[in-house]
Structure 1
Amino acid sequence: MTRGSESTTAEEHGAAEPLTVVAAAIVQEGRLLVVSKQAAPDVFYLPGGKPEAGEAPLEALRRELDEELGVEPLEPRLLARIESVAALEGVPMRLTLFEARIARTPAPAAELARLRWISGDVSDVRLAPAVTDHVLPLLRRAGSMEP
């Protein structure tokens, strides 16, 4: 870049392109399914991940739940689009959140370390900011989880 130019890129300003992800809010008997990844086993997230090139959000959700948990989302419906910060990467994140049911018992696979069902008043587990700041309040307001 030449000295008199006023044109700069996002990288030069330190701005990061938002991370695009999809996730599922799976609630059974008032408890939400959360997972931890091997890269950060002490932080729990919603199951899901990054869409591949050209993949629609719902397609990505189906693929991710199959790869990570060996389950298929039943009757998925768009719940919200959330702007937050990705806990592991520390960058802005655009989350497309679906609410879904599952018919089988999930089992962690791929990059997942473990899974857990949490209640709305969870205090003994570290949750990703998007879960605590956006997802849990949304599910409480919808009546899916107890306060």
Structure 2
Amino acid sequence: MEREKQLPPCPLCLCGKTRNPMAELNKVGLLVQDAAGRVLLCRKDHATSLLILPGGRIEDGETDMECLDRELAEELGPVAARNLQWVGVYAGVAHHDDPNIRKTLEIRLYRGELEGVPTPSGEIRELVWFGRDDDLGLLTPIFVECMLPDLRRRGIVSW
């Protein structure tokens, strides 16, 4: 895959694969922004009522790009990620509406654009463009506590 060659190798190791054996959940996420700087987020139909980034769990043997392609097709319909840039790795505890469920989470985040019109598909029931005037309480703790401060510091988001 041509765009795979343009992205950095896994910073955790040099294997080319992306699973962190220390995390219970290994995911790849995509940060998509509109012209106003709002971020595209998803609301799932189970597990959490909070908004999450498009993307999902890396399956055994998958690269980041294979995972992202599969998850975007499952969640957003016939779209393709374009102009991808590596953002970073974020770790925390996955949010679940059931407080008895706690799993460690690592998200490998990319920034890019979508080709095609995203529509809620599969387990996604709603897509939201989230911005400056929206309630941070609707976001997962890993987004608010880990990602957002870093994205602000680096000038990727301004809200």
Point out the structure with max Rg over C-alpha. 1
Match of 1:18 in 2: 24
Matched residue of 2:80: which SS?
coil
Match of 2:138 in 1: 126
- For 1:110, give the aligned amino acid: G
Matched residue of 2:73: which SS?
helix
Per mean C-alpha deviation after superposition, the further-off stretch among 18-27 and 129-138 is 129-138
Note closer, same or farther for the CA distance 1:131–1:17 as it changes in structure 2 (3 Å cut): closer
- For 2:127, give the aligned amino acid: L
After TM superposition, what 4+ stretches of structure 1 lie above 3 angstroms from structure 2? none
CA RMSD of aligned residues (A): 1.9
From 139, 144, 147, the counterpart of 2:156: 144
Answer whether contact 2:23 2:104 (CA < 8 A) is retained: yes
CA displacement at 1:42 relative to structure 2: 2.6
Match of 1:48 in 2: 55
Answer whether contact 2:136 2:144 (CA < 8 A) is retained: no
TM-score (norm 1): 0.81
CA distance in structure 2 between the aligned counterparts of 1:62 and 1:123, rounded to whole angstroms? 29
CA distance in structure 2 between the aligned counterparts of 1:121 and 1:105, rounded to whole angstroms? 24
Match of 1:3 in 2: none
TM-score (norm 2): 0.75
Match of 1:60 in 2: 67
Answer whether contact 1:48 1:64 (CA < 8 A) is retained: yes
CA distance in structure 1 between the aligned counterparts of 2:67 and 2:132, rounded to whole angstroms? 27
CA distance in structure 2 between the aligned counterparts of 1:66 and 1:129, rounded to whole angstroms? 26
Q: How many residues get paired?
A: 132
CA distance in structure 1 between the aligned counterparts of 2:110 and 2:51, rounded to whole angstroms? 17
Cα deviation code 1:61-90 (max 9, x no counterpart): 111112110211101122111111111252
Q: Percent identity?
A: 31
Matched residue of 1:137: which SS?
helix
